[in-house]
Amino acid sequence: MFSFLKKNKAKTDFSFLGADMHNHLLYGLDDGLQLPEQTIEFVKKMQLLGYVKLICTPHILSGVHPNSPATILPRLQDVKKILTDNNIDIKIEAAAEYMIDNEFAALAKNGDEVLSFGNNYVLIEMSYVAASPYLEESIFNLKLRNFQPILAHPERYSYLHTNFNKYIDIKDRGCLLQLNLLSLTDYYGKDVKKIAKKLLEEDMIDFVGTDMHHYNHLNATIDFSANTKVYQLLQSRNFLNATLV
């Protein structure tokens, strides 16, 4: 009786991306998932969405999320074990999402261990309130050490919305850009959606990530309808995600 409704709702499928390289699925480390059972549940759902590899990126933010290789890497091993114990077969790795503050600026410069993934990629982010005064020097110093910085969710920094040249400048400095999938829906608001579409249309986006933290993100991602124009726009672009698998 409702088959016509089903027909209009195409199944959400992100298998063309293959790998998610920005999420908070490692439990108990930051403002993402808190319990091992949640990690199991979310990983299963990510598989149903078409992902075959997950690169988990817990926040590192001094005083708020004081993570380091010493907290993240053992948790990755715990998660690998519980996934194996639950017969879940998926590739899973860990890196981090570094807030660009003075501590990160020092880390980028001083040669201490930086958590990277794939082709020496390092995921960095800024506050939603104001641009980081350490952005340019951090990009420079990371590249000097042969790391390839990726700025997380550039579309979510509202202070950049009126200055599109700043996005171009960040790319010109050799930093890649990662878009959040949900930015293409109304999840973060109309302004974010507008700039997200523009960045995609201008071929400025190198990676796409879920930035998955909790059930609202999961449900909104599952609801990302595969028969919308933004989904077609997404599919029409080439991202580096597939090179990570």
Taking the least distance from each CB to Fe ion, the nearer of 140 and 215 is 215
Query: Which one of 95-103, 106-114, 177-185, 196-204 is the stretch in contact with Fe ion (CB under 5 A)?
Result: 95-103
Name the residue with tokens 């075959």: 52
Q: Interface with Fe ion includes 211 (CB under 5 A)? A: yes
- DSSP-derived secondary structure letter, 50: T
- Quick one: how far is CA 94 from the chain centroid? 12
CB 66 to Fe ion: min, Å: 16
Taking the least distance from each CB to Fe ion, the nearer of 97 and 155 is 97
- Number of residues near Fe ion (by CB under 5 A): 2
Beta-bridge partner residues of 124: 98, 151
Q: Interface with Fe ion includes 20 (CB under 5 A)? A: no
Structure token digits, residue 75: 């948790």
SS3 117: strand
Taking the least distance from each CB to Fe ion, the nearer of 140 and 158 is 158
Structure token digits, residue 162: 């009126």
Please pick, from the candidates 30, 97, 101, 155, the single residue that binds Fe ion as defined by CB under 5 A: 97
CB 121 to Fe ion: min, Å: 14
Taking the least distance from each CB to Fe ion, the nearer of 97 and 101 is 97
Residue 82 contacts residue 47 (beta carbons within 8 Å): no
Taking the least distance from each CB to Fe ion, the nearer of 97 and 206 is 97
Beta-bridge partner residues of 19: 53
Say how far apart CA 192 and CA 138 lie, in whole Å: 25
Site residues for Fe ion per CB under 5 A = 97, 211
